[in-house]
């Protein structure tokens, strides 16, 4: 039996993950809950310790909600909990599928929206998110703030290889590198040279390049031009929220943080949504789609397929929360999904 850890997190993270846990209970899938969240951080002034991380390492998958609490406006605990897991477990690939589930929930014209089927493979351990830089003379008129973008050849190589391997294993035809090497040339040339070298080893997969600004326009106007997209940490973060907007919003998008050999961390793309917490308005479908990715990772393939089907049914039957113009609560959507699975 594979081992599953659950970290609900803050805000609606707790609410949507609770629905996923009810489903695991109903299916007899066991899991262990760890409350690493804002309350924990405020109480202990620390997130996940090295020892606690060693314990998490013994699991096959982590089901994570979201972090974000108004009492910690600088997201101090994000660094010590979520980024610690992504960095220290070396989960370098953040895989974010952007698929249209129902054309009525896209702001695009149906003939364009129907073509959305993109997988964003976002580098997860480098770039601006490493926190390199500093703030000098804070608050003064001559203040200087520096955030440094860092890319390593090894880090770029492994994510580009992951994207091409993902394309082969999932019958995808094209991998597009999205970057900005015309204006940010140092890292840009590194990405481009590694991408060109690796794409030569995959003659059956088309390798293409787009600048990130143009890529945003293409994603909206001609989404069919993208299949697998590989990109750096910041650009991947932005592009996937743009993708969310095209297919019905953040309440639908799931993601996997993986490294191709071992533990995976699975989380909805959305945050803790403090504006709707406690109102039973949180859409649990992203958390269910996330659970489907986790099920696939731990070998529960039938459960994965059934869950993806139940999510589609919930949307087509209008058993949805207000973000999808539905009248149902978080737990009612959860109950429906569970009823379709049993």
Ligand X SMILES: NC(=O)c1ccc[n+]([C@@H]2O[C@H](COP(=O)([O-])OP(=O)(O)OC[C@H]3O[C@@H](n4cnc5c(N)ncnc54)[C@H](O)[C@@H]3O)[C@@H](O)[C@H]2O)c1
Contacts with ligand X by CB under 6 A lie at 12, 16, 66-68, 75, 82, 250-251, 267, 270-276, 282-283, 286, 321, 323
Of 126, 61, 18, the closest CA to residue 266 belongs to 61
Least separation in angstroms between residue 61's CB and ligand X is 16
Least separation in angstroms between residue 327's CB and ligand X is 14
Least separation in angstroms between residue 96's CB and ligand X is 11
Measured from the CB atom, is 105 or 270 closer to ligand X?
270
Q: Which neighbouring-strand residues pair with 123?
A: 93
Least separation in angstroms between residue 14's CB and ligand X is 12
Tokens of 123: 């580098």
How many angstroms separate the CA atoms of 183 and 293, rounded?
36
Measured from the CB atom, is 134 or 278 closer to ligand X?
278
Least separation in angstroms between residue 177's CB and ligand X is 24
Can you give the C-alpha Rg of the chain in angstroms?
Answer: 20
Measured from the CB atom, is 67 or 315 closer to ligand X?
67
One-character DSSP codes across 134-184: EEESTTSTT-EEEE-----HHHHHHHHHHHHHHHHHTT--EEEEEE-TTTS
Tokens of 288: 């269910």
Measured from the CB atom, is 73 or 203 closer to ligand X?
73
Tokens of 46: 């620390």
Of 251, 282, 293, the closest CA to residue 269 belongs to 251
Closest residue to bound ligand X by CB: 271
Measured from the CB atom, is 114 or 245 closer to ligand X?
245
Least separation in angstroms between residue 312's CB and ligand X is 17
User: Reduced to 3 states, what is the DSSP secondary structure of residue 266?
Assistant: strand
Measured from the CB atom, is 56 or 67 closer to ligand X?
67
**N residues, the chain:** 342
């Amino acid at each position: 039996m594979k081992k599953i850890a659950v970290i609900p997190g803050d805000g609606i993270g707790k609410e949507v993950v609770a629905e996923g846990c009810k489903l695991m209970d109903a299916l007899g899938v066991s899991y262990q809950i760890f409350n690493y969240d804002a309350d924990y951080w405020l109480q202990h002034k620390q997130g996940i310790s090295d020892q606690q991380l060693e314990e998490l390492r013994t699991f096959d998958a982590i089901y994570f909600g979201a972090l974000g609490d108004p009492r910690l406006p600088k997201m101090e605990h994000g660094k010590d909990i979520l980024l610690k897991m992504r960095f220290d477990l070396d989960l370098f690939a953040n895989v974010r599928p952007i698929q249209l589930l129902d054309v009525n929930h896209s702001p695009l014209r149906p003939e364009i929206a129907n073509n959305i089927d993109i997988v964003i493979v976002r580098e997860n351990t480098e770039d601006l998110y490493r926190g390199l830089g500093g703030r000098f003379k804070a608050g003064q008129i001559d203040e200087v703030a520096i955030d440094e973008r860092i890319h390593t050849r090894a880090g770029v190589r492994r994510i580009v290889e992951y994207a091409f391997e993902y394309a082969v294993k999932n019958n995808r035809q094209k991998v597009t590198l999205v970057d900005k090497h015309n204006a940010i040339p140092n890292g840009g040339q590194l990405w481009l040279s590694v991408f060109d070298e690796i794409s030569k080893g995959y003659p059956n997969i088309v390798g293409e390049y787009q600048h990130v600004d143009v890529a945003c326009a293409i994603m909206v106007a001609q989404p069919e031009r993208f299949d697998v997209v590989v990109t750096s940490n910041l650009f991947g973060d932005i592009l996937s929220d743009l993708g969310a907007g095209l297919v019905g919003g953040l309440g639908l998008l799931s993601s996997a943080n993986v490294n191709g050999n071992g533990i995976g961390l699975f989380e909805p793309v959305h945050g803790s949504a403090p504006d709707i917490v406690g109102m039973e308005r949180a859409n649990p479908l992203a958390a269910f789609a996330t659970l489907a990715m986790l099920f696939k990772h731990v070998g529960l393939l039938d459960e994965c397929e059934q869950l993806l089907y139940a999510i589609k049914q919930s949307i087509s039957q209008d058993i949805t929360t207000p973000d999808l113009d539905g009248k149902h609560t978080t737990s009612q959507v959860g109950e429906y999904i569970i009823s379709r699975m049993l």
